[in-house]
Chains A and B, each alone.
Chain A
Amino acid sequence: MTPEKDPKTIAAQLCQFARTNFVAEGTAFDENSPLAQAGIDSFALVELLLFCERVIGVRVPDSHLTGNNLTSMATLAKCISELARNGHSTA
Chain B
Amino acid sequence: MPDLPRQIRSAAGDYFMHGQDRRMRRFGLPGNVCCAIFQLDRGFDVDRLRRRIAESLIMDWLARARLVRPLPLLPAVWRTATKPKAIYFEHHDKNGSAETLWSLPKAVAERELRAEQGPGVTFDVVRHADGTNHLYLSWNHTLLDARGLDFLLSHLNADGAANGTPGIQDFVSPRQTARGGGIAGWWSNAKMAHGSVKWLHESGKEPLFTLVPTEPRSGPCRNHRRLIRLTEAETARIDARSQQITAGFRRSHFYLAVSIRALHAIALRRGNRDGAYLVPVPHDTRRHGAKGPIFSNHLSILFYRIETRHAGRITDIVGELSRQMMDQIRDRFPECCMAALEMFKPLPLGYYAHHLGKPTRGKIASLSFSDSGEICPGMTELCGGRILDATHLIPCWRWPGLTMLFLRFGNRLTAELSWVDDCLTPAEVDGLEQDVRKALLEEALS
A residues in contact (CB < 8 Å) with B: 21-24, 26-27, 35-36, 38-43, 45-47, 49-50, 62, 65-67, 70
CB-nearest residue of chain A to B322: A62
B247 touches A70 (CB 8 A): yes
CB distance from B325 to the nearest CB of A (A): 6
A70→B248 contact, CB < 8 A: yes
* Stretch of B81-89, B284-292, B385-393, B430-438 on the interface side: B284-292
- Asked if A43 and B248 sit within 8 Å, CB to CB, the answer is no
Contact of B243 with A by CB under 8 A: yes
Q: What separation, in Å, do the CA atoms of A67 and B248 have in the docked complex?
A: 7
Nearest Cβ on chain A to B292's Cβ, whole angstroms: 10
A40 surroundings in chain B (CB, below 8 A) = 249, 288
Q: Are A42 and B288 touching (Cβ within 8 A)?
A: no
Interface contact tally, CB-CB below 8 A: 57
**Whole-angstrom CA separation of A40 from B291 in the bound complex:** 17
Complex CA gap A67/B247 in Å reads: 5
Given A43-B329, A67-B243, decide whether A36 and B249 contact each other with a Cβ distance below 8 A.
Answer: yes
Q: Is the Cβ of A65 less than 8 Å from the Cβ of B288?
A: no
Asked if B252 CB lies within 8 Å of chain A CBs, one says yes
- Counting CB contacts under 8 A, is B269 at the interface? no
Instruction: Say how far A60's CB is from chain B's closest CB, in angstroms.
Output: 11
Asked if B51 is at the interface (CB within 8 A of a chain A CB), the reply is no
Q: Given contacts A35-B249, A36-B249, A50-B326, could you give 7 more A-B pairs where the C-beta distance is less than 8 Å?
A: A24-B288, A27-B289, A40-B288, A42-B246, A42-B249, A43-B325, A50-B329
A18 to chain B, nearest CB (A): 9
B217 close to chain A: CB less than 8 A? no
- B residues within 8 A CB of A66? 247
4 tightest A-B contacts by CB? A39-B288, A27-B289, A24-B289, A24-B290
